[in-house]
């Protein structure tokens, strides 16, 4: 049975190969199928179209709370976020494109830095990681941005809002829906649409006034300078959400994707047995609750089918529409500049996913110094500027070393007592410094620059 199938490929190589490959020279022939990802842009492009066709979202401030240095205040507000779903699944029209069903109020938070008490400041969009909302992460994880004079705005993604902050409960809900209905719920791609709306809302932020500081005694001048470049930070799962946003958000000048990289099936297998402290994601237990006696073959086939159903939402599939195959959005193929930050060794995100993100975007180079070589990615020496999109975008992957991550390689400053690469990539002194420099050059230069870790 195998020989006739292999013969089809071998005969073609011998007759039409360039150069021809005689059958005697073939050591191995495998048969496999591939499919195009070109149609995956249909949903986010329709979402973008709907967001731009709607009246600009008007934020409604619900309360303002005092900050702590270097934060001057925290502003809580809401905007009417679009929803293309009926329940947890997108609704499609006869043309195969998603239909906008409704809008609903979604809360967001803006951290206002003390620098805004003297002059309007630029804004950074923030996407939180798994298990935590934007409030906690903006308060503490983004404090370096406040110190540098950036306001930080973020909202809670819909799977955290609608299901739970617990990743086991999130995976249980998603897999339960899949097993009962045969379709993956559309939490991830709906978040992309909400992010696109949030980006537009930020561009209109001060149309209804944005004077909140000094706290308790606003001074009459806007706190935010929306004429300056909009930047983006996504941490962990927020980085995953960010890689699906970047191709469709030319309004963003520079984005930092920090310790993330999503390929759905690989993440499920990696995190379930490898979860920190022995706590996995629980998806195997969920499957066994529905079907007892699942064999390894059943599992592999089932997860493969899950990935086929998840592919159009999988952020890494959308990353290919950045530099490798740039999709036109609202009349432009301009793309944000992107800094990918990897922590060695990461027990939450497989390195294949982070590095696969760089490859899928368009062979984004590893920025020297290279701590762990990546055979399929080029290497670039900093400073790095305009290496993509015909000189209009900068992109690079930077590695950071946790304590004990690589034999004989000392940890980066800030990671001397950090053995988990996932957090080292977020908090290393060099990681923060390079992120800030990247954003600061986005404010002052036509194209931002990625500097090396030793640049002051």
Q: What is the pLDDT of residues 30-41, one digit of tens each?
A: 767 777 899 999
| pLDDT value at residue 266 | 84
| pLDDT value at residue 167 | 81
CA distance 356 to 15: 34
Confidence of residue 286 (pLDDT cuts 50, 70, 90): low
Long-range CB contacts (within 8 A, 24+) of 31-34: 31/5, 31/6
Q: Pick 43 or 130 by higher pLDDT.
A: 43
CA distance 284 to 269: 9
Radius of gyration, CA atoms only, the chain: 23
| pLDDT value at residue 455 | 41
Percent of the chain with pLDDT over 70: 94
| pLDDT value at residue 190 | 98
Q: Pick 274 or 234 by higher pLDDT.
A: 234
| DSSP class of 213 | -
| Mean pLDDT for the chain overall | 91
Q: What's the pTM value of the predicted model, to 2 decimals?
A: 0.90
| pLDDT value at residue 205 | 84
Mean pLDDT, residues 357-386 = 97
> What ranges make up the beta strands (E) of 215-354?
230-235, 252-258, 337-344
DSSP 41-99: GHHHHHHHHHHHHSPPP--EEEEEEE--TTEEEEEEEEEEEEE-EETTEE-B-TTSSB-
| pLDDT value at residue 217 | 94
> Using one digit for the tens of pLDDT, what is the confidence trace for 213-243?
999 999 999 999 999 999 999 999 999 999 9
Helix (H) or strand (E) holding 238: helix 237-245
Tokens 């959308």 belong to 318
Q: Which two tokens stand for residue 399?
A: 């590695």
Q: Are 323 and 388 in contact (CB under 8 A)?
A: yes
Check pLDDT > 90 for residue 279.
Answer: no
Q: Which two tokens stand for residue 393?
A: 């975008």
Q: Are 152 and 138 in contact (CB under 8 A)?
A: yes
């Amino acid at each position: 049975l195998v020989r006739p199938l292999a013969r089809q490929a071998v005969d073609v190589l011998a007759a039409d190969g360039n150069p021809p490959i005689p059958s005697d020279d073939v050591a191995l022939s495998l048969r496999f199928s591939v499919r195009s990802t070109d149609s995956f842009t249909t949903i986010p492009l329709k979402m973008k179209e709907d967001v731009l066709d709607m009246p600009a979202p008007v934020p409604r401030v619900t309360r303002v709370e005092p900050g702590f240095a270097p934060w001057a205040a925290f502003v809580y507000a809401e905007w009417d976020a679009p929803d293309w779903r009926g329940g947890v699944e997108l609704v499609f029209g006869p043309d195969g494109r998603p239909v906008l069903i409704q809008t609903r109020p979604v809360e967001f938070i803006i951290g206002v830095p003390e620098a805004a008490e003297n002059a309007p400041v630029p804004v950074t969009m923030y996407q939180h990681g798994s298990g935590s909302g934007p409030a906690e992460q903006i308060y503490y994880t983004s404090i370096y941005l406040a110190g540098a004079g950036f306001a930080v705005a973020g909202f809670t993604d819909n799977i955290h809002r609608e299901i739970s902050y617990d990743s086991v409960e999130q995976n249980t809900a998603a897999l339960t829906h899949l097993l009962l209905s045969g379709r993956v719920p559309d939490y991830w791609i709906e978040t992309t649409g909400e992010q696109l709306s949030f980006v537009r809302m930020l561009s209109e932020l001060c149309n209804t006034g944005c004077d909140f500081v000094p706290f308790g005694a606003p001074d009459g001048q806007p706190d935010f300078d929306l004429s300056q470049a909009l930047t983006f930070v996504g941490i962990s799962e927020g980085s995953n959400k960010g890689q699906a946003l970047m191709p469709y958000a030319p309004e963003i000048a520079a984005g930092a994707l920090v310790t993330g990289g999503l390929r759905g099936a690989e993440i499920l297998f990696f995190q379930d047995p490898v979860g920190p402290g022995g706590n996995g994601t629980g998806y195997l237990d969920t499957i066994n609750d529905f079907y007892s006696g699942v064999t390894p073959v059943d599992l592999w086939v089932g997860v493969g089918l899950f990935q086929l159903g998840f592919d159009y939402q999988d952020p890494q599939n959308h990353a290919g529409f950045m530099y490798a195959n740039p999709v036109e959005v609202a009349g432009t193929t301009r793309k944000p500049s992107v800094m990918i930050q990897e922590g060695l060794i990461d027990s939450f995100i497989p390195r294949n996913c982070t590095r696969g993100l760089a490859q899928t975007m368009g062979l984004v180079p590893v920025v020297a110094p290279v701590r762990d070589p990546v055979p399929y990615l080029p290497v670039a020496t900093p400073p790095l500027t305009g290496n993509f999109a015909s000189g209009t975008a900068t992109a690079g992957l930077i590695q950071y070393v946790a304590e004990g991550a690589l034999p004989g390689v000392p940890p980066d400053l800030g990671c001397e007592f950090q053995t988990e690469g996932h957090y080292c990539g977020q908090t290393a002194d060099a990681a923060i410094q390079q992120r800030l420099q990247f954003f600061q050059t986005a404010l002052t230069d036509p194209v931002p620059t990625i500097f090396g870790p030793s640049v002051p």
